[in-house]
Amino acid sequence: MSRYLIRLALIANAFFFIFPMIPGIQFHGNFLHALGAGALFAFLGWVVESLAIAITALLAIGTLGAGLLFLVPAWLLGFWLLPAVVLRFVADILPGSLSFTGWGPAIWGGLVMLFIGIATSGKVHTRTRNPQASPT
């Protein structure tokens, strides 16, 4: 639970401090607006990622695996675009607080969000070694 609160705080700080430094991104509001935008970003990110996974699964099953020839390169080249798409959705929902001049600034903002997500991911820090196994 604390990892999600840390992630929300880092996302809110990105909205409030980092995004105004990126040319083409304007954030208007106080830190509470940034917290709200961060919560909305987290929720919409979950929705967009779930939809992308569901569509990928349907295409892979529906084509009996042949669609994977297209889907795997698309995921490898496009996974870093998902946060930019989510940021554009947030800007569409909150036009008074967040705006972009184009897709270029949205992609840079999405990369910031991607790095925050990677840094706060629990999968990076888990241990795979069994601590109760005795060394032989």
Given a cut of 90, is residue 135 above it in pLDDT?
no
The model's pLDDT over 22-70, given as tens digits with 9 standing for 90+, comes to: 999 999 999 999 999 999 999 999 998 899 889 989 988 988 888 888 8
CA–CA distances in Å: residue 84 to residues 31, 81, 89, 103, 120: 21, 5, 9, 8, 18
Domain assignment present for 127: no
Q: Tokens standing for 68?
A: 């994977």
Is 133 a member of any domain? Answer: no
Q: Tell me whether residue 81 is in a domain.
A: yes
DSSP 28: -
State the average pLDDT for the chain: 88
In a domain, 130, yes or no: no
What is the rounded average pLDDT of the residues 86-91? 95
CA pair distance 80, 86, nearest whole angstrom: 11
What pLDDT is stored for residue 40 in this prediction? 96
Looking at residue 132, its pLDDT comes to 62
Print the domain residue range for 66: 2-119
Considering the domain boundaries, does residue 125 fall inside one? no
Query: For the chain, what is the domain count?
Result: 1
